[in-house]
């Protein structure tokens, strides 16, 4: 059967500033600085959201939730990702797994990784064993390294959901 699996990729960057909360993967990380943006600026959830949209060829986060729209001011990125999961579910796909990397110079994310994975598992209704989150510094190099911002990269795999959500001949509705 064709089109059973689709891979998606997402990438996002946000600037680090004083006076903002640092939201990553749907949880708040204790930090002197936070990520700036129209929404809660959760760079990791934004990359995952774009990966899911990308796998379904449904555009990007900016086309679905424009930062010029007052409705998304300080938006909870967990809700945006949840909406996108619903969107691909309507088209007959569900998430198989997520793998993501956050590039941030400080604070160190390792102590928070399990909490982040658990939260993403909850948002995506996906067993935590299918949610991978890694963290890296950039060894002091580039905009991440000098502490100007954070970047996140994510890939995900979508697979055709059960036959009840599939199209006439068993193919998903994409
Ligand atoms: Mg973003």
- The per-residue pLDDT for range 34-75, each reduced to its tens digit, is 999 999 999 999 999 999 999 999 999 999 988 888 887 888
pLDDT band at 174 (very low <50, low <70, confident <90, very high): low
Whole-number pLDDT of residue 162: 67
Look at residue 169 and tell me whether its pLDDT is greater than 80: no
Whole-number pLDDT of residue 3: 66
The rounded Å distance from CA 168 to ligand 1 centre is 37
The rounded Å distance from CA 14 to ligand 1 centre is 6
Find the length of the chain: 174
Determine the Cα–Cα distance for residues 114 and 96; give it in Å rounded to an integer. Answer: 19
pLDDT band at 157 (very low <50, low <70, confident <90, very high): very high
Q: What is the dihedral of CA 106, 109, 112, 113, to 10 degrees?
A: 160
Whole-number pLDDT of residue 63: 93
Q: Please name the helix (run of DSSP H) or strand (run of DSSP E) that holds residue 15, with its range, or none.
A: strand 5-18
The rounded Å distance from CA 2 to ligand 1 centre is 33
The rounded Å distance from CA 167 to ligand 1 centre is 33
Determine the distance from the C-alpha atom of residue 163 to the mean position of all C-alpha atoms in its chain, rounded to a whole number: 27
Whole-number pLDDT of residue 69: 82
Whole-number pLDDT of residue 42: 97
The rounded Å distance from CA 20 to ligand 1 centre is 15
Above pLDDT 70, what percent of the chain?
91
Look at residue 166 and tell me whether its pLDDT is greater than 80: no
Alpha-carbon distances of 168 from 18, 116, 145, 173, rounded to whole Å? 53, 38, 51, 9
The rounded Å distance from CA 44 to ligand 1 centre is 8
The rounded Å distance from CA 114 to ligand 1 centre is 22
Does the reported pTM lie above 0.75? yes
The rounded Å distance from CA 94 to ligand 1 centre is 23
Mean pLDDT, all residues of the chain: 91
Q: Which residue has the tokens 């002091």?
A: 140
Closest by CA to 18, choosing from 151, 152, 148, is 148
Coil/strand/helix, residue 170 = coil
Determine the Cα–Cα distance for residues 21 and 23; give it in Å rounded to an integer. Answer: 6
């Amino acid at each position: 059967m064709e089109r059973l699996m689709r891979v998606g990729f997402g990438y996002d960057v946000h600037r680090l500033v004083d006076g903002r909360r640092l939201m990553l993967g749907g949880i708040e990380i204790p930090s002197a600085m936070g990520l700036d943006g129209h929404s809660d600026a959760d760079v990791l959830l934004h990359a995952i959201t774009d990966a899911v949209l990308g796998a379904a060829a449904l555009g990007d986060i900016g086309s679905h939730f424009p930062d010029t729209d007052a409705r998304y001011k300080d938006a909870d990125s967990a809700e945006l990702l949840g909406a996108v999961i619903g969107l691909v579910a309507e088209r007959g796909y569900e998430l198989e797994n997520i793998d993501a990397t956050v590039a941030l110079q400080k604070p160190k994310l390792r102590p928070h990784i399990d909490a982040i994975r658990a939260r993403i598992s909850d948002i995506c209704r996906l067993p935590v064993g299918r949610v991978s989150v890694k963290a890296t510094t950039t060894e002091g190099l580039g905009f991440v390294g000098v502490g100007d911002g954070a970047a996140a990269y994510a890939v995900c795999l979508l697979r055709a959901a059960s036959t009840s959500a599939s199209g006439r001949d068993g193919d998903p509705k994409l």
